[in-house]
Structure 1
Amino acid sequence: MQVAVVGSGPSGVYTAQSLVQQDRVPDVRVDVLDRLPCPYGLVRYGVAPDHEKIKSLQNNLRSVLEHERVRFFGGVEIGPRGLSPARLLGMYHAVVYCVGAATDRHLGVPGEDLPGSRSATEFVSWYSAHPDVPVNGAGPPDRFVRGVESAVVIGIGNVAVDVARMLARGAAELLPTDIPQEALGVLADSGVRTVHMVGRRGPSQARFTTKELRELGSLPDTEVVVDPAELALDPAYADPSGLPAANRRNVEVMRGWAAARPERAPARRIRLRFFLRPVAVLDAGGRVGGVRFERTLPDGRGGVTGSGTYEDIAGQLVLRSVGYRGVPLAGLPFDEGTGTVPHAAGRVLRDGAVAPGEYVAGWIKRGPTGVIGTNRPCAKETALSLLDDAPALVQREVPEDPSVALRAAGAEPVEWPGWLAIERAEADLGRSLGRGSVKIPDWPGLLSAARGGPPDTAG
């Protein structure tokens, strides 16, 4: 049985693992396809460079991609500029789409498109060396922190915590990581002194994990500031005992910060703000000058309501971190309301009926929820549905080696040896800079390295 898995992040790799490690259908062979020449998805391009422990998950994903019945084909695009889903299905008995949630949500407020107003997703991709985001001076991301003294991060989830922490990190702390050289230089020259992280609801409803939150308090020469009056607006603040454990721990950490008094003035401050809803990004001479917020108040039903009072927070950079959203893939059905592909236990539904041989897993299946580990049971459910359908699926004739059909259709895949060549080139690049492994941040450099040439990149 030949199966294609589209997407090499955790959901795709866990799907491949579930298929090749079961006994019900013998000799299942899985090709893991990715648009990028590098595997691992958001583990490579979404986890902050200073989170080495989480990034080490790549070792677990690697063991699956090196399985004797699993092949990696990078640089293969599915969609309008590549293979259509229908053509891909003609090459395999089944196709599982694990394409994630590729775009971010917008605030929907005036001024959101001003220069200096960006998505946190873009910022993460920039410092993670995603090849779709220019990093070496020519593109707009070079302006992320140049001339910025105050940054406003809108959102109170883990991504917001990540970008706030990266804005407050010193160059010496980032030097041992794999952050691309140019991004390291830009952040090293940063004049950011204050980072405001702002949420429309209260501290008991914040969506970051306590471990991530506590990291903010361990940053060198950085003070975390919380306003006790804002905390007190939250009905659960005075007595958090009824909250879920994670939310209760978050409140306890913030209570400690609210009571703390620094011994000396720090180089940087991270200000956690609550019960503020953005209503406009402010214009300062054609660029971002700050954000106008409306004070919100608990409505007694778990939400908030506007109070009619407003506050402006000055800043030269605004990063929105208010969630991800799936995007349609031409040739697959899509639910605009949920940002997902309609499915039944992972089986793609077309006009309410099961589409034989087509499946989904991960965020495109369930929406952008959960942590990395949440993808494992999600992938297993889809794999079990596929295996239940296997007796009917294998009746259809497909090419003996789908990779031949991929190439015949115009794809030029980067196979596993090409990825290993990229890894070697990144190690060589790091050595030449007196660092550890350093990511190659652009398409030409990655493709040149994959084919055995020098990493044609400024680093």
Structure 2
Amino acid sequence: MTKLRLAIVGAGPAGIYAADILLKAERNFDVSIDLFDRLPAPYGLVRYGVAPDHPRIKGIITALREVLDRGDIRVFGNVNFGTDITLDDLKKHYHAVIFATGAVRDADLDIPGIDLDGSYGAADFVSWFDGHPDVPRTWPLEAQSVAVIGNGNVALDVSRILAKHPEDLLSTEIPDNVYEGLKASPVTDVHVFGRRGPAQVKFTPLELRELGELRDVDMIVYDEDFDYDEASKAAITSNKQVMVIDKVLQKWRQRDVGTASRRLHLHFYAKPLEVVSDDEGRVAAFRYERTTPDAEGGVVGTGEIREVPIQAIYRAVGYFGSPLDGIPFDKRHGVIPNREGMVLKKGSNDVVPGVYATGWIKRGPVGLIGHTKSDAMETIKHVINGESNWWAPADPSEQGVIDLLEERGVKYTDLDGWHNLDQHEVKLGEPHGRARIKVVPREDMVAISRGEALGA
């Protein structure tokens, strides 16, 4: 009987779901799976890309934990593909690899001034407030008025964290350095800008509702944005999600405002034109063109130019994938070129033997967790049926990769190590009535995971 030794690079939902689906699938061979991640802890964007005040979404970790805790998947954390372990190493020790590395950097917004001092990517800010070990411990929160560009859930997450009073985050797993940073923020106004209208937003109703529940924060919407065209009216009547979003926004139109210490403004029909600089090269204003519906669900410019004074701006216009050493990459779309998860050679429809992709690095940063599962099923189907395409490893033993990492001095973490770190974070939170307090420095995460003394 054939035995498949499979490596999966990326221990977020995409990688864990792929492993689980393969182990449960009908097949005529045994499977041994090793999951690699550059971070010392698993779960990817569920741990480092979801706002700390979203415990319902964080509950996904419970399902992922159940998969890993079965004990039939090995985890190697704090291992960087391309340096600690290479494609040649994988070919020596495995029959195939699935890349599930996601999309973790910000997509570009090509307008003048976007690189000014005071202009930030939303993904970087999310990484900071989620305690990602590879970002600085401090964040420049010095602006009273802030712009957020985008009409998706990430834009709402960023806006909510900026506008929310930090003491209302203390029941979450927010790291201490993040709480202290937010507490010092002088912010009074957060402006969210979207190019299209309220009926075309990419928010989910739950995310939008949560905005309106913020303590001591006025929700400001503008009547001029609600003169719906026929296409918008049709969207509201035909799509339940759009209908709920409209109901939420219409309720906000009726609210009394003016008493809260902070305000969160939603601006629709606003096409970004320029980030305006002050004399010192810092963000001073956001300039945009007012748009109008084009009767087909899109918008066209009106020629009316507006400007809002701000001191910081965050672009939340999407995530983008990063290239991997030795793996074909589509620079335009930020994905690994593939056909149903089978990686394709550069500029060709020919399949790269033994190499597969799943999740956002496969299809781009769209869709929710459910899409990730169906995505993995498609890829795993080709892994199962592609035995003739697998590599012929020289050393497929389970000990081989451990020996390799130890020879190179890689301080990898394993599943027991994650349990150590998990328990440590939970204990840190207990005296404060919190679910956990995240350990942020990478070296501390590794030391705790490996049972070593901190600072050793």
Q: Normalising by the residue count of structure 2, what TM-score does the alignment of the two structures yield? A: 0.93
* CA gap 1:201/1:395 in 2 versus in 1, 3 angstroms: same
CA offset digits 1:408-439 (Å, max 9, x no partner): 45543211122122223323433566744111
Superposed, 1:324-403 pairs within 5 Å as 324-350=319-345, 351-390=348-387, 393=390, 397-401=394-398, 402-403=401-402
CA offsets, 1:188-218, max 9 Å, x none? 2222111111101111110010110011111
Aligned residue identity for 2:298: G
Taking a change above 3 Å as real, the CA distance of residues 455 and 177 of structure 1, as seen in their structure-2 partners, is farther
Matched, 1:290 2:252: no
2: distance between equivalents of 1:288 and 1:132?
A: 26
Partners in 1 of 2:22 and 2:245 — Cα distance? 38
Tell me the SS of whatever aligns to 2:93: coil
Which position in structure 2 is the counterpart of 1:89?
91
2:122 pairs with 1:125? no
8 Å CA contact 1:134–1:442 kept in 2: the answer is no
Structure 2 Cα separation of the partners of residues 238 and 333 of structure 1: 44
Letter in 2 for 1:363: W
Structure 2 Cα separation of the partners of residues 389 and 240 of structure 1: 43
Q: Which residue of 1 aligns with 2:43?
A: 40
Are positions 1:278 and 2:275 aligned together?
Answer: no
Q: Choose 21-30 or 51-60, whichever is displaced more.
A: 21-30
Name which of structure 1's ranges 201-210 and 425-434 shifts more when overlaid on structure 2.
Answer: 425-434
Task: State the distance in 2 between where 1:413 and 1:234 align.
Answer: 57
Q: The residue matched to 1:291 in structure 2 has which SS? A: strand
Query: SS where residue 111 of structure 2 aligns?
Result: coil
Q: Which runs of 5+ in 2 are unaligned?
A: none
User: Post-superposition shift, 1:148?
Assistant: 1.7
Instruction: Map 1:202-217; keep pairs closer than 5 Å.
Output: 202-217=197-212
Normalised by the length of structure 1, the TM-score is 0.92
Moved more, 95-104 or 231-240: 231-240
| Alignment partner, residue 51 of structure 1 | 54
| Secondary structure of the corresponding residue to residue 168 of structure 2 | helix
Q: Does structure 1 residue 316 correspond to structure 2 residue 311?
A: yes
Q: Superposition RMSD on alpha carbons, in Å?
A: 2.1
Partner Cα distance (1:439, 1:389) in 2: 41
Q: For residues 323-356 of structure 1, give each alpha carbon's deviation from its aligned partner in whole angstroms, at most 9, with x where no partner exists.
A: 1111211211112232211112211111321122
21-30 or 155-164: which moved more?
21-30
Q: Which deviates more from structure 2 when the two are superposed, residues 374-383 or residues 61-70?
A: 61-70
C-alpha distance in structure 2 between counterparts of 1:290 and 1:430, whole Å = 40
2:166 equivalent to 1:171: yes
5+ long unaligned stretches in structure 1: none
Post-superposition shift, 1:75? 0.9
Distance in structure 1 (CA, Å) of the matches to 2:33 and 2:16: 10
Shift of 1:239: 5.7
1:362: how far off? 0.2
Q: Is the 8 A contact 2:354 2:391 kept in 1?
A: no
Residue pair 2:152, 2:201 contacting (<8 A) in 1 also = yes
Give the aligned length: 448
Native 8 Å contact 1:231 1:237 kept in 2 = no
Which residue number in structure 2 is paired with residue 134 of structure 1?
A: 136
Q: Which residue of 2 aligns with 1:100?
A: 102
For the residues of structure 2 that align with 1:303 and 1:240, how far apart are their CA atoms? 12
3-state secondary structure, aligned to 1:179: coil
The letter of the residue matching 1:9 is G
Report the residue type matching 1:399 in the other structure.
Answer: P
1:103 and 1:423 mapped to 2: Cα distance?
A: 26
Whether 1:426 and 2:429 are equivalent positions in the alignment is no
| Residues 369 and 105 (structure 1), Cα distance of their counterparts in 2 relative to 1, 3 Å cut | same
CA distance in 2 between partners of 1:186 and 1:394 (Å)? 49
Q: Residues of 2 paired with 1:366 and 1:237: CA distance?
A: 28
1:240-259 → structure 2 map (5 Å cutoff): 240-259=235-254
1:9 and 2:9 aligned = no
Q: Sort the Cα spacing of 1:388 and 1:120 in 2 relative to 1 into closer, same or farther, 3 A.
A: same
Aligned counterpart, 1:152: 147
Judging changes above 3 Å, is the alpha-carbon distance between structure 1 residues 275 and 154 closer, same or farther for their aligned structure 2 residues?
A: same
Offset, 1:236: 4.2
Query: Do the aligned partners of 2:236 and 2:242 also contact (CA within 8 Å) in 1?
Result: no
Q: 1:235 to 1:428 in 2, by over 3 A?
A: same
| SS of aligned partner of 1:28 | strand
Instruction: Give the counterpart of 1:180 among 170, 175, 178.
Output: 175
Distance 1:362 1:241 in 2: 30
When residues 260 and 302 of structure 1 are mapped into structure 2, their CA distance, relative to the original with a 3 A threshold, is same
Q: Distance in 1 between matches of 2:344 and 2:262?
A: 51
Question: Which position in structure 2 is the counterpart of 1:112?
Answer: 114
